[in-house]
Amino acid sequence: MSSPRTARERVRAELTREITDLARARLATDGAAGLSLRAVAREMGMASSAIYRYFPSRDDLLTALIIDGYNAVGEVVEKADAARPREDHTGRWLAVCHAVRDWALAHPHEYALLYGSPVPGYRAPADTVAAAVRDTVVYGRIVSDAHRAGALSPPEPGPPPPPSFGEDAARVRELIPGVSDDVIARALVAWTGLFGWVSFELFGQFDNVILDPATAFDHCMRHHARLLGLPA
Amino acid sequence: MSSPRTARERVRAELTREITDLARARLATDGAAGLSLRAVAREMGMASSAIYRYFPSRDDLLTALIIDGYNAVGEVVEKADAARPREDHTGRWLAVCHAVRDWALAHPHEYALLYGSPVPGYRAPADTVAAAVRDTVVYGRIVSDAHRAGALSPPEPGPPPPPSFGEDAARVRELIPGVSDDVIARALVAWTGLFGWVSFELFGQFDNVILDPATAFDHCMRHHARLLGLPA
DNA sequence: TGTACATCAGTGAACGCGCGTTCACTGATGTAC
DNA sequence: TGTACATCAGTGAACGCGCGTTCACTGATGTAC
């Protein structure tokens, strides 16, 4: 499984890749709901039934695209984070923000597949989860690092977290070890804020209003950094 | 046009409404991309060609659904806002947040149509804009009211807005008269944060992590209120 | 109020197209002796 | 190294279904005199 040995296995890996690549390209024209095995087969120049040698059904192809997509975001986020000094927590946060936005702008339909409306009739299997949290893991590490370094100083005490928030906070804390419920809440605000912005921008909610989104985005993510307690 | 006079006009208005209602219901099973005139006609018990007496094409039906959807959100937001004392700016903000979230939970597929992935091949005509900003207008009034009442006191000076942010800020200011560029940025953060949260919750990003989203949501929106400068 | 005509709603057949999936099959590649 | 057999990739036809849109048409409703 790890590295293909026989010629057959090599060809198979190549064709599998070619199929997902073509399918990815088709997302742009027809969207996830309209992803069609026959169309992919046509572009590959093979019989539509041949695709079934590689993916047992349309939904499995979709799952592969979703996993690839999450991994692609995870990778750019990991790289953006790693390119910054470990102690530059604010810089790492901003780098992650821009990595997500840049990737989304470069792959709008894949972003829509991952973070937009669910595909009707499709239910993502459990294997997508590991890939889906790669970016979140990086984010959690940044916040956690900042906390451990004593670099988190929120502008003022936040509203008191309701006691019933504790259980959810505990689950989120697995990604951001050590921090208080208050920081968990702030971290949720920033993370949802990042994707909320990108979705608004990509899905047209800013049309005719925000014409220089790159500038506004960077500025707003700096606000998020401060709310979170990261130094300016 | 205003109120139907002849029997024919009354029946036409009724059937038009019935068509959109059925189409709305079909969103739930097939999503926007799969919205089918034939399916709607079938459920109405009429020939598929008859639908064309009411909507010249599938896209026009979709447009009607989108406009209705934005108006529905706009209405619940307006009502939630109006139910609070005018000076209770924080309460009005939270009421708006909950109105948006409650509506989204009650109408997930319509929410996805409005704020989720764009429908492939569909381009929203200009008539949707007026309806689309109804909720934003309410939001802008709350922030503007708070500003005029001297009730906006952010926890600390924000990061300095870059000069190039000015033009976009000016456009946003048409909805939030009187406020500084700094407040505009904070307002954008809160607004995108609200929809970012709701999208995450609705589109499954919180699955197995946030199990009591109502509590976490309320708490996080209070954080947004403070970042915006609204009193706790 | 009654009639002649114009407008409109709805029908059903048709065009031309697409889809996912199955199945019996051919021919090539890999494996065990 | 050579042969016999098993595995796999890919074909092409078929099943049964769905779609948006057009068109000539019937019959009912509305309007002008």
What tens digit of pLDDT does each residue of A86-111 get?
A: 999 999 999 999 999 999 999 999 99
A172 to chain B: closest CA residue? B209
pLDDT tens digits, one per residue of A192-232: 999 999 999 999 999 999 999 999 999 999 999 999 999 99
Shortest CA distance to B223 belongs to which of A185, A216, A222?
A185
Give the pLDDT confidence of B166-213 residue by residue, as tens digits: 999 999 999 999 999 999 999 999 999 999 999 999 999 999 999 999
Q: Which band of pLDDT confidence, cut at 50, 70 and 90, is reported for residue B1?
A: very low
User: What is the mean pLDDT of the segment spanning A48-67?
Assistant: 97
A10-21 pLDDT, tens digit per residue, is 999 999 999 999
pLDDT at A5: 73
Q: Which secondary structure element, helix H or strand E, spans residue A114, and what is its range? A: helix A108-115
SS3 for B22? helix
Output the pLDDT for position B79.
Answer: 98
Q: How confident is the model at residue A2 (pLDDT cuts 50, 70, 90)?
A: very low
Please, what sign has the CA dihedral across residues A49, A51, A56, A58?
negative
Domain boundaries, chain B: 1-56, 59-228
What pLDDT does A3 receive? 59
Chain B residue with minimum CA distance to A210: B168
Task: Give the pLDDT confidence score for residue A4 in this predicted structure.
Answer: 60
Q: Which residue has the tokens 């995108």?
A: B192
CB-based burial, B117-127: b 16+ in 10 Å, e otherwise: bbbbebebeee
What's the pLDDT at A7? 85
* Fold of domain B59-228: Tetracycline Repressor; domain 2 (1.10.357)
Report whether pLDDT(B149) > 90: yes
B117 vs A113: CB contact, 8 Å cut-off? yes
Considering only the beta carbons, identify the residue of B31, B115, B205 that sits closest to A203: B115
Subunit contact A117:B117, Cβ cutoff 8 A: yes
Asked if pLDDT for residue B2 goes beyond 50, the answer is: no
Distance CA A173, CA A179 (A): 7
Nearest nucleotide from residue B38 CA, by C1' atom: D19
User: A65 pLDDT band (50/70/90 cuts)?
Assistant: very high
For residue B6, the model assigns a pLDDT of 84
| Nearest nucleotide relative to A50: CA against C1' | D10
Nucleotides of C under 7 A from a protein CB: 8-14, 18-24, 29-31
Separation of CA A16 and C1' D5 in angstroms? 28
CA gap A132, B174 in Å, rounded: 39
Smallest Cα distance from B6 to chain A, Å? 40
Asked whether the domain spanning A59-228 has the same topology as the one spanning A1-56, the reply is no
In this prediction, residue A181 has a pLDDT band, given cuts at 50, 70 and 90, of very high
CA atoms within 13 A on the CB side of B120: 21
Q: How many whole angstroms separate alpha carbon B188 and alpha carbon B117?
A: 20
Residues of B in contact with A159 (CB under 8 A): 219, 222-223, 226, 232
Q: What's the pTM value of the predicted model, to 2 decimals?
A: 0.96
Answer whether any strand C atom is within 7 A of the Cβ of A59: yes
Other CB atoms within 10 A of residue A69 CB: 24
With CB atoms and an 8 Å threshold, state whether A195 touches B194: no
Distance from the Cα of A50 to chain B's closest Cα (Å) equals: 26
For chain B, what is the mean pLDDT?
96
Where would I find the beta strands (DSSP E) of chain B? Answer: none
Q: Do B155 and A155 touch (CB under 8 A)?
A: yes
> Looking at CA atoms only, how far is residue B24 from chain A in angstroms?
14
Contact pairs from chain A to chain B, CB under 8 Å: 185
What CATH architecture does domain A1-56 belong to? Orthogonal Bundle (1.10)
Q: Give, in Å, how far the C1' of C13 lies from the CA of B14.
A: 28
Looking at residue B4, its pLDDT comes to 60
pLDDT in tens, B80-131: 999 999 999 999 999 999 999 999 999 999 999 999 999 998 999 999 999 9
User: What pLDDT band is residue B5 in, cutting at 50, 70 and 90?
Assistant: confident
Calculate the angstrom distance between C1' of C31 and CA of A14: 23
pLDDT tens digits for A135-174? Answer: 999 999 999 999 999 999 999 999 999 999 999 999 999 9
